[in-house]
Amino acid sequence: MSEKTVPYKIYLEEHEMPTKWYNVRADMKNKPAPLIHPGTKAPMTAAELEGVFCAELVKQELDDTTAYFDIPAEILSFYKMYRPAPLVRAYCLEEKLQTPAKIYYKFEGNNTSGSHKLNSAIAQAYYAKQQGLKGVTTETGAGQWGTALSMACAYLGLDLKVFMVKSSYEQKPYRREVMRTYGASVTPSPSSDTEVGKKILSDFPGTSGSLGCAISEAVEVAVTTEGYRYVLGSVLAQVLLHQSIIGLEAKAAMDKYGIKPDIIIGCAGGGSNLGGLIAPFIGEKLRGEADYHFIAVEPASCPTFTRGTYAYDFCDTGMICPLAKMYTLGSGFMPAPEHAGGLRFHGMSSTLSQLYDDGLMEARAVGQTEIFAAAQQFARSEGILPAPESSHAIKGAIDEALKCKETGEEKTILFGLSGTGYFDMGAYEKYNDGLMTDYIPTDDDLAKGFAGIPK
């Protein structure tokens, strides 16, 4: 097919949209290590996990052999309100860069929450509702997950209690108001509403909070409140499963025009958008059907893949959650303030960690001034104002396109544009005023986090 026939935006027809999620673990020879109980060190059983999570989600979490899961009809009709997400050919960016590379991005910011997180929020809220629960609890760092979940809970009539990392509760009052508009209750974390919150406040007076603290608080409330369970927006295998919709749609759209990507790039926080984007492609690679170059881009201030260690660790600061084997900086690692707030988690999806450890994926860390330079270049050429998190993927794509310019190679690059940056204008203001700095932890800073990893 001639290149001219590729439109700026490729949308699937409604009947071409995926109706199943893909579970990449089914095709992995080396399965991700199981979650283990912090006390007994035995793999967590379904019964143990069901005290914290919804039963159907526990099934998905523990299933590493079923390749495809039907998407329930109610979730599919919710998806149709904002999906398919467009696959966009970045003709204008290519022109600016004068690169022979062909750049495509999958845009997940076309919904009110502004990111891919809605794809899993609606699924998790749906299963909670099916189970007859009254509500769910969660944490939110930068606010995208809390916003997405409040939309999903409002749609299904579920209560939602959000623990929002205190620094972002204060810096992003409008994020907070969006959640409240959809009916969620929002508490700054650490708070004195929970035992773990009180302990963190007394151990670290004046702390502005972290995702790990907020997770501990949300879990405590879920397990001590009748009719509630806890839901998490990233890291878990079930979240990667739901996010596979991103990659499945992208692949279907590319297949429709006979396009095969050479390089696939995503930003990595807990790994859900990257894991979702690469899922069907890495499945082909694992089955030996095709080859792709996968690149994870993370912030230099929270360099989980590039400087972390692969070990069993806690997912939360309060150390009440199961242990996951993952690339980690230690649950006590407190990243310096960083504007890509959604990428500040100390650990990484155990699925992606295993794939990375098996050498199937490359990872890079980039400082935030370079990230905002890439974000600005993208906004000025492609029009979309990107989330700082997503701009890590943009930076990766621009760098690869510039390499092609040097070598003359016409590679096809696909990257995940996970969301929009309208709530991040404080960060853009810092960048525009020349006040943005790069925080890179020293080896000593990292050693403190590593010291807290259980032996």
Ligand X SMILES: *Cc1c(COP(=O)(O)O)cnc(C)c1O
Binder of ligand X out of 197, 330, 419, 449 (CB under 6 A): 419
Q: Which residue stretch of 302-310, 370-378, 386-394, 429-437 sits at the interface with ligand X (rule: CB under 6 A)? A: 386-394
**By the rule CB under 6 A, 418 interacts with ligand X:** yes
Q: Binding to ligand X by residue 374, rule CB under 6 A?
A: no
Copy the structure tokens of residue 408: 């003359």
Smallest Cα–Cα separation from 266: which of 303, 239, 295, 301? 295
Contact residue for ligand X among 84, 146, 335, 342 (CB under 6 A): 342
> Using CA atoms, how far apart are residues 304 and 266, in angstroms rounded to an integer?
15
Minimum Å gap between C-beta 114 and ligand X is: 7
Residue that the structure tokens 């007394």 belong to? 202
Position 389 contacts ligand X (CB under 6 A): yes
Angle at 346 between CA 345 and CA 349, to 5 degrees: 75
295: helix, coil or strand? Answer: strand
The nearer residue to ligand X, 234 or 350, going by C-beta atoms, is 234
Which CB atom, from 267 or from 397, has the smaller least distance to ligand X?
A: 267
- Asked if 441 interacts with ligand X (CB under 6 A), we say no
Give the residue among 414, 196, 392, 400 at the shortest CA–CA distance from 299: 392
Q: By CB under 6 A, is residue 387 in contact with ligand X?
A: yes
Q: Which of 58-66, 272-280, 299-307, 356-364 is the region at the interface with ligand X (rule: CB under 6 A)? A: 272-280
298 binds ligand X (CB under 6 A): no
Of the candidate residues 23, 99, 111, 115, the single one contacting ligand X (CB under 6 A): 115
Cα radius of gyration rounded to whole Å, the chain: 20
Q: Which is nearer to ligand X, 111 or 144 (CB)?
A: 144
Segment 228-267, which members bind ligand X (CB under 6 A)? 234, 267
Q: What is the Cα–Cα distance from 112 to 179, expressed in whole angstroms?
A: 11
Structure tokens at 225: 């409140």
| CB 274 to ligand X: min, Å | 6
Mutual orientation of helices 211-224 and 195-203 as an angle, nearest 10°?
A: 150
Q: How far is the CB of 346 from ligand X (least distance, A)?
A: 13
Q: Nearer to ligand X by C-beta: 144 or 244?
A: 144
- Report the nearest approach of ligand X to the CB of residue 424 (Å): 9
Tell me: does residue 273 bind ligand X (CB under 6 A). yes
Shortest separation between residue 410's beta carbon and ligand X, angstroms: 28
Stretch that binds ligand X, among 11-19, 178-186, 215-223, 385-393 (CB under 6 A): 385-393
Part in contact with ligand X (CB under 6 A); list of ranges 24-32, 175-183, 198-206, 269-277: 269-277
Calpha distance 87→229 (Å, rounded)? 35
Instruction: Please provide the distance, in angstroms rounded to a whole number, between the alpha carbons at the two ends of the chain.
Output: 56
Residue whose entry in the numeric block shows the structure tokens 């369970």: 229
How near is the Cβ of 50 to ligand X at its closest, in Å? Answer: 24
Structure tokens at 182: 């959809």
Footprint (CB under 6 A) of ligand X, residues 134-163: 144
Give the angle subtended at the CA of 303 by the CAs of 298 and 309, to the nearest 5°: 130
Question: What is the closest distance, in whole angstroms, from the C-beta atom of residue 45 to ligand X in the complex?
Answer: 26
**27 lines the binding site for ligand X (CB under 6 A):** no
Contact between 296 and 305 (Cβ < 8 Å): yes
Residue in this structure with the two tokens 């959650």, named with its chain if needed: 321
Q: Are strands 87-89 and 102-107 parallel, antiparallel or unpaired?
A: antiparallel
Nearer of residues 145 and 292 to ligand X, judged by Cβ: 145
297 part of the interface to ligand X, by CB under 6 A: no
- Selected from 124, 189, 208, 390, the binder of ligand X by CB under 6 A is 390
User: Are the CB atoms for 450 and 313 separated by under 8 Å?
Assistant: no
The verdict on 272 binding ligand X (CB under 6 A) reads yes
**Binding residues vs ligand X (CB under 6 A):** 115, 117, 144, 234, 267-274, 342-343, 387, 389-390, 418-419
